[in-house]
Chain A
Amino acid sequence: MIGEGFAAVLAAAQDGSEAAFSQLWRDTNPALLRYLRVIAPAAAEDIAADTWVKTLRNLSGFRGDEQAWRAWVFTISRRLVIDERRRKTRKPAIPLSDVPLAALPFSADASDEALERISTKAAMAMLAELPPLQAEVILLRVVAGLETEAVARLVGRSPGAVRVAAHRGLRRLAQIAAEAGVTL
């Protein structure tokens, strides 16, 4: 999160400053990729790139604070995910949640295995075992840093439903991590 200087950075980026936009991108894109690698793992990078293309198309017209900025970017990305799923309906793929945790492509290198186990990828793999709504709500709350109300607007649910889904997902996530014996 950029914090206090977000308004100045956004204004500079809207005025054409590459440095300011680079700061915005470096702050937002990792969270966006983590969100997409759980929600749409097969096309995460492509959807992230399309998200930035659409964001840049309307960057000059955006008004709002950092929360609104992140909510806007993730809303664009989520809609692209929905479009991607509609295009892939004729090509069914095995969802990540159906893949056993042991079969996930963890690092084969023994020297990196320890680091990999505590990596973000391992955490995302465990998160992918959750039901889609729970995983998405946790990602938007934790990775994107959005408030409950913003997440509720984004996913089209009530704030209470979002809160319940997040709590259930956390409980389930704790069980998965305990069963996997992963010490993060």
Chain B
Amino acid sequence: MPNFPWLGRQDASAIEDAALAAMLSGPEVPDDLAAGLQPAADVLAALRARPSGDELAGEAFAMAEFRNRVGVPDQVRRTRPRRRPSLLTSLMSAKVAVAAAAVAITIGGVATAAYAGALPGSAQRLAHDVIGAPAEHSVSHPSGTGTAADRTVIRRHARHHHFRWHGCWTPKSHPRKPGPHPSWTPKPHPSWTPSAHPSWTPKPHASWTPSPRPTPTCTPAPRPTRKPRPHPTGTPGKYRRHHHHRYPGHHPGPVPTGSAAPQPTSSPSPQPSAQG
């Protein structure tokens, strides 16, 4: 049916807008309602009527959908209430995450500083022992700045590394003196000359066994190769461990199989290389 808005405009003078607004706002019909608006008020009252049966017919579908998406039966709710993550839990999780991140950053920074050699002496030594960071002496100032204890530690590490890589002690290493240990006797070495130490007299010890000891002097030699050299007698590995590795300056020739090392005498070593 077509709408004729001018019909409404003809009645506009007779109808108060306030009455219309009141009709729309609530079910109460204004007392001063014009007679022409009474049918409309009745229509609006019918629209506000209580719901009929067919308007509530879809409740079962809605409740099933609610169970599927949101809800749980009330009986289940009583026995096992649905729990939301509390604010405290969220905050604790956040704190744990922040703490873990801080620890990770700290460890990373310390490791970086250790490899850069920026840690203090003791910490650098610890890092050297634990994670293989560079030793303290390798990153220390070559000018010798530092305390005497630091320099001592540096020298010790230097000797240690020199011995590990060259098989002998550094030339400036401290010569061992016969003293506190009763069974210690200086070990002869081909390159060692007694005249260098006039006050020392080598004495053979009865219980002395040829134990490999570092020599007070060192001849720079290349690091022993990994591949064992063929040896006619004996075990190359054993030979290298007892003689060649400890005295890399020597050129081991044929050595009696399994024979003891040369006795500590003042005479030169019977090894061929020493004679040469």
Report which A residues bind B (CB closer than 8 A).
13-19, 21-22, 25-26, 29-30, 33-34, 45, 48-49, 52-53, 56-57, 59-60, 97-98, 100-101, 118-120, 122-124, 126-127, 129-131, 134, 138-139, 141-143, 163, 166-168, 170-175, 177-178, 182-184
Contacts and interface: CB of A to CB of B under 8 A. Distances in A.
Nearest to B14: A171
Q: Provide the main secondary structure of the chain B interface.
A: helix
Interface stretch (B60-68, B197-205, B241-249, B258-266): B60-68
Nearest to B45: A184
19 contacts: A13-B70, A16-B70, A16-B82, A18-B73, A19-B74, A22-B59, A25-B62, A29-B59, A53-B65, A56-B65, A56-B70, A142-B47, A166-B24, A167-B21, A171-B11, A172-B3, A172-B5, A177-B40, A177-B42
A60 to B, nearest CB: 7
Given A97-B1, A130-B3, A142-B48, A56 B66 contact: yes
Interface in B33-84: 36-40, 42-49, 51-52, 55-56, 58-59, 61-63, 65-67, 69-74, 77, 82
Which one of A25, A134, A138, A171 has the greatest number of beta carbons of chain B within 10 Å?
A171
Interface of B: 1, 3, 5, 7-8, 11-12, 15, 17, 20-21, 23-25, 36-40, 42-49, 51-52, 55-56, 58-59, 61-63, 65-67, 69-74, 77, 82
Q: Which 8 pairs between the two chains have the least Cβ-Cβ distance?
A: A177-B39, A184-B42, A30-B51, A123-B46, A174-B40, A171-B8, A30-B55, A16-B71
A168 B52 contact: no
Contacts of A29: 51, 55-56, 58-59, 62
Given A17-B71, A98-B1, A184-B45, 20 more contacts: A14-B70, A17-B74, A21-B62, A26-B59, A29-B58, A56-B65, A97-B1, A118-B46, A126-B43, A131-B3, A141-B25, A142-B44, A163-B21, A167-B20, A170-B20, A170-B40, A175-B7, A175-B8, A184-B42, A184-B43
Q: Provide the main secondary structure of the chain A interface.
A: helix
A174 B3 contact: no
A97 B1 CA distance: 6
Contacts of B55: 29-30, 33-34
A168 B65 contact: no
Which one of A21, A59, A163 has the greatest number of beta carbons of chain B within 10 Å?
A21
Contacts of B67: 18
A101 B1 CA distance: 9
A127 B3 CA distance: 12
A173 B43 contact: yes
A81 to B, nearest CB: 17
Contact of B40 (A17, A57, A122, A173): A173
A120 B47 contact: yes
